[in-house]
Structure formats: C-alpha cells, structure tokens
Amino acid sequence: MSASMNDVASSLLSRIERCEAKVGVIGLGYVGLPLAHALHHGGLPILGFDIDQNKIDAIREGRNYLQHLGDELITSLRDSKRFEATTDFGRLGEADIIIVCVPTPLGKHWEPDISYILQTAEAIGKTLRAGQLIILESTTYPRTTRDDMMPAIMTAAGEKAKALQIGRDVFGAFSPEREDPGRKSHSTSTIPKLVGGLDDASTELASAVYRKGVTTVVPVATAEIAESAKLLENIFRAVNIALVNEMKVVLDAMGIDVWQVVRAAGTKPFGFMPFFPGPGLGGHCIPIDPFYLTWKAREYGHSTRFIELAGEINTSMPHYVVDRTAEALNGQAKPMKGSRILVVGLAYKADIDDVRESPSFELIELCKHRGAVVDYFDPLVPATWAGRKHDLKMTSVGYDAATVASYDCILISTAHSKMDYSVIAKNAKLCVDTRDAMRAYEAQMGARLVRA
Ligand SMILES: NC(=O)c1ccc[n+]([C@@H]2O[C@H](COP(=O)([O-])OP(=O)(O)OC[C@H]3O[C@@H](n4cnc5c(N)ncnc54)[C@H](O)[C@@H]3O)[C@@H](O)[C@H]2O)c1
C-alpha cells in the first residue's frame, strides 16, 4: 500500500484483496459480460446491471446471448451465490467498485456520442457514497473520465457531493477493454490490462481489482494515458488496414496477388506486422473510435489527417469490391442488373455473430442499388436486425450445392472458419472472394474465382 492512500482508500483496498468488495458491472455486452465472468472467477462478488431486460432474463435462464462465449460462462455465473444481474439501478449503492462498459457510438455527423456514459454517471451519482471506486472501460476521447464522467456523477450526487471529494472519498480510473471477440488465443483474463487513475490511490485501487481476474495488470501514470493508449491501438489498426487496402487496389490493377505479397513481407522477423485487406472495416471499435480523437483534436486546433485518410480508404472498399464484382459478372457476359448475388458472411469478422458496422451490409445495399437480386448466408446470423445505419430485414438462405449453384455470383465478405468452402468451389458459377477464403480451391475454380 502506497503513501497516497488514506483510510478510506486503504479500507477499500483490503476489502478488494479479501474479495469482500462488491463489483457492479454496468452494461453486460461484449465487454461487460466476459469482464464480469473474469472478476467473478477471481473471487469477487459481482452485481451486473443492464437496461436491457432481455439480457437479464437470458442470464437467469442460463442462455448466452453472445454465442461466441458459450452457455457455460452464463450458467457458471447464474449458479453462483456471488453473482446477480439486475435492471434496478437503485442498487448501485451496494457496489464498492462500479465498472462502466456501455456503448460509445458515433452520432449522425460522426461526432462522439457519450450519452450512454452520461446517463450511467447520473445513475451512479444518485446513490454515490464514500468509499466507491468508479472505473470507465468504454472507449472514448482523452479526458472523458476526468472532465465528463466524474463531474456528471458529482452533479447527480447533488447535496451529498459537498462532503465527497474525488481522490479522498470517491475514486475514479479508466481501464480500456482490449477484447477481440472470437479470438481463441486470448481472453479477458489473459490480455494485459492498462489501468490509469485520476490520482495514485485510484490507480492502485483499480489495479488491485483487475489483478483478481486478469493475469497482467499494467498501471500507467494517468487516466488520460490509458484513454489515449486505447485510441492509439485502434488507430494503428485502422491506418494499417487502410494501407494494405490501398496496396490491394494498386496491386490488383498490376495483376499481383496482394495476399501473397503480405505473406511474403510477413516473413521479416522484425519491423513488419502483417495486416490483410478486406471489404471494409466493421465492428464497434476500429471504424468508430479513431473519430473520437478527430473530434477532440479540433478543440485543440489540430486535424487528424492519418485517421481521416484511413477512414476515406476503408469506407471506399465496399464500392471497390462491388465494382470488381460488376466487372467479374461482365466477364461472364452478365450485367449486374438482374444478376443473383449471394453474399457469404454477414458478421463483421470471422467466427462471431456480431454484425455492428459490418461492411457486408454496404455490399448488399450497393449491389441492390445496381439492380442485383441479393441474398445472404451466414451460419451465425440467421436474420438481420436494425443497426445504426442499416435495416435490411433479411434472413439467411441455406447453404447447399443447389442453392450455391442457383446464384450468378457468390460474394465472400466474411470467412467463418467452420464453413465448407468446397461447396462454393464445386458449384459456384462465379466467386468474388474478399477474404482469401478460396485459396485452397484456386486451381479447381480457375477463372470462376476473382479476388477483390
Ligand atoms: N466489442 C468489443 O470488442 C470492444 C472492444 C474494446 C472496447 N469496446 C468498447 O466497450 C464499450 C462497450 O462495447 P460493447 O461491445 O460491450 O457494447 P455492447 O452493445 O455489446 O454492450 C453494451 C451494453 O450496455 C447496455 N447499455 C446501454 N446503455 C446502458 C445504460 N445507460 N445503462 C446500462 N447499460 C446500458 C446495453 O444494453 C448492452 O448490453 C464501447 O465503448 C466499446 O467501444 C468494445
């Protein structure tokens, strides 16, 4: 225990260390649910909060609404005396530690929408008491924890706030989630966890909490360093994906296979990290988070040219793929208008059922716009639902020889690993592959295979 700790902080620290401190996790989605599980596994009592009654009901019924995590995760929580889930935010006062894992989308004009954080802050403020530690995990622009969330909590606390000082009575920290849903090599408990407090005591307390469920905790000097590090990680990905997508367009025009080029470059043991091209960016993080910094940078009179250029290239990818599809159909003397296209893979990446910001939606809409008749197949996404931009109201078709043969073109947008691609190889009249899923069938397919 460091000298920065007063009696309130040291009492909370020893309760965390003895696993007596209760953790409230707000937002039981892709981030909050596995986090609740990891901390529970480490011995801490958990009280989960969500505004979505369906999620709370699913937990009570032992059903996992996030398929990639499996039912066992849910049943182990449901059957434990140390776990409860509720929609009753009046119970936030029971929690000694509150971890906020709510969405941070972009608004209509690509501006950060931190309204979910602010709503949550208001609920926390209402039951705020001395000895609580609030940790923000939602990805956001630097200074949100200090300048937006904590002041909103104190405002909502009203009269009570007069007796409560941040860093003395209540504590605050930011710890970014680095979840990569579907990745088998890492889980919430094995991905190193950055922790930055508003002050030293907050960093120490938050680090102690995460040590219960995460193997490696990396304390950093401030909340702002943790907030900015998360953005840097995602911007790094967005920029490198854009770079390789730009390479793809140039190399395609030169008749050079970009996938082989990336693999060849990837043999260099230092100074290079392979990124692969695709039909565009998807998911809750990479297409969105960089623009949180773009918005904040303007307040300081700066522009973020790398981020904007990467955004421009990545958002042009679905158009490029659809142009290549039209060309490929043309090669078979078929116009796009009236052609039947099957988009394979609706999720934004392989082996998960998450369709948020998926470029597949863009591909479907662009093909339809050019007059094609479009269906989709995704073994993990039986039907579409309304998203931020798209509401296609479609259901997945089947996947068999006759179905595949009935389309003029199979457009692979996402390559789930458990799919049998030989069905496409044997039966497709034409396949446009944006994920290099058909490499093994290259010889068999000949001119019926086009990469884009
Ligand atoms: N999904 C990822 O892979 C990932 C990775 C790293 C960081 N993040 C970040 O983590 C945050 C959460 O993302 P997610 O993917 O878990 O989102 P999600 O949509 O899966 O989960 C968010 C949950 O919060 C609930 N919710 C919404 N408003 C609420 C409120 N006011 N009070 C309580 N609950 C509320 C929703 O019902 C939902 O269950 C975002 O900031 C995201 O950028 C996500």
Are residues 182 and 312 both part of a single domain?
no
| Residue 47, in any domain of the structure | yes
Residues 53 and 193 in one domain: yes
CB 346 within 8 A of CB 413: yes
Of 221, 246, 272, the residue that ends a domain is 221
- Residues of the chain with pLDDT > 70, as a percent, come to 100
How many Å from the N-terminal Cα to the C-terminal Cα in the chain? 56
In the structure, what pLDDT confidence band is assigned to residue 395 with cuts at 50, 70 and 90? very high
285 is catalytic: yes
In terms of domains, do 263 and 196 share one? no
Strands (E), 74-127: 83-86, 97-100
On whether both 412 and 294 belong to a single domain, the answer is yes
In a domain, 240, yes or no: no
Do the domain assignments include residue 246? no
Is 278:245 a contact under the CB 8 Å cutoff? yes
Domain match, 195 and 303 both: no
Separation of alpha carbons 321 and 249, rounded Å: 10
| 26 Cα: distance to centroid of ligand 1 (angstroms) | 9
- Which range (48-52, 120-124, 189-193, 352-356) has the least confidence? 352-356
Does 406 lie in the same domain as 264? yes
Neighbours of 439 (CB within 10 A): 14
Lowest mean pLDDT among 67-81, 154-168, 205-219, 268-282: 67-81
Residue 4 has pLDDT above 80, yes or no: no
Task: Give, using CA atoms, the residue closest to atom 33 of ligand 1.
Answer: 50
d(CA 254, CA 303): 34
Is residue 183 predicted with pLDDT exceeding 90?
Answer: no
The pLDDT of residue 324 is: 98
User: Is the model's pLDDT at 14 over the cut of 90?
Assistant: yes
Report the CATH number at residue 206. Answer: 3.40.50.720
Nearest atom, ligand 1, residue 27 CA: 24
Q: Taking residues 299-326, report their average pLDDT.
A: 97
Look at ligand 1, atom 25, and give the residue with the nearest C-alpha. Answer: 27
177 shares a domain with 131: yes
- Of 72, 75, 34, 33, nearest in space to 50 by CA: 33
Tell me how far apart the alpha carbons of residues 10 and 8 are, in angstroms, rounded to a whole number.
6
Which residues surround ligand 1 with Cβ inside 6 Å? 26-32, 49-52, 55, 101-104, 116, 119-120, 137-139, 177, 179, 181, 284-285
Q: Are residues 83 and 206 in the same domain?
A: yes
Looking at 198, 221, 244, the residue that finishes a domain is 221
CA distances from 210 to 39, 64, 168, 218 (A): 7, 24, 21, 10
Flag whether pLDDT at 59 surpasses 90. yes
CA dist 140 and 174 (Å) reads 10
Query: 157 in a domain, yes or no?
Result: yes
Question: pLDDT above 90 covers what percent of the chain?
Answer: 89
Domain of 365 in residue numbering reads as: 258-451
| CA 116 / ligand 1 centre spacing (Å) | 9
Mean pLDDT, rounded, for 393-414: 97
| pLDDT for 57 | 95
Is it the case that residue 378 has pLDDT exceeding 90?
A: yes
**What band does 1 get if pLDDT is binned at 50, 70 and 90?**
low
**Confidence bin at 180 (pLDDT 50/70/90):** confident
- Determine the distance from the C-alpha atom of residue 291 to the mean position of all C-alpha atoms in its chain, rounded to a whole number: 15
36, 87: one domain: yes
Look over the chain and give the mean of its residue pLDDT values, rounded to a whole number: 96
| Nearest CA residue ID for atom 39, ligand 1 | 29
Q: Ligand 1 centroid to 398 CA: how many Å?
A: 31
| Structure token pair of residue 270 | 């230092």
Stronger pLDDT, 162 or 386, i.e. the higher one: 162
Say how far apart CA 179 and CA 36 lie, in whole Å. 13
- Provide the domain count of the chain: 2
pTM of the model: 0.94
Same domain, 139 and 273: no
Q: What is the pLDDT of residues 143-165, one digit of tens each?
A: 999 999 999 999 999 999 999 99
345 falls within a domain: yes
Q: 10 Å Cβ neighbour count for 244?
A: 20
Considering the candidates 285, 367, 409, 431, report the single residue annotated as catalytic.
Answer: 285
Distance, CA 52 to ligand 1 centroid (Å)?
12
Cβ atoms of 212 and 43 within 8 Å: the answer is yes
Q: What is the pLDDT of residue 202?
A: 98
Angstrom distance (rounded) from CA 300 to CA 196: 23
Contact (Cβ atoms closer than 8 angstroms) between residue 181 and residue 347: no
Asked whether residue 271 is assigned to any structural domain, the reply reads yes
> How much is the average pLDDT of 11-29?
98
Among 227, 209, 45, 27, which Cα is nearest to 120's? Answer: 27
Contact 137, 101 (CB under 8 A): yes
Is pLDDT above 90 for 68?
Answer: no
Instruction: Indicate if 192 and 266 belong to the same structural domain.
Output: no
Average pLDDT over residues 173-179: 94
Do 426 and 287 lie in one domain? The reply is yes
Considering the domain boundaries, does residue 242 fall inside one? no
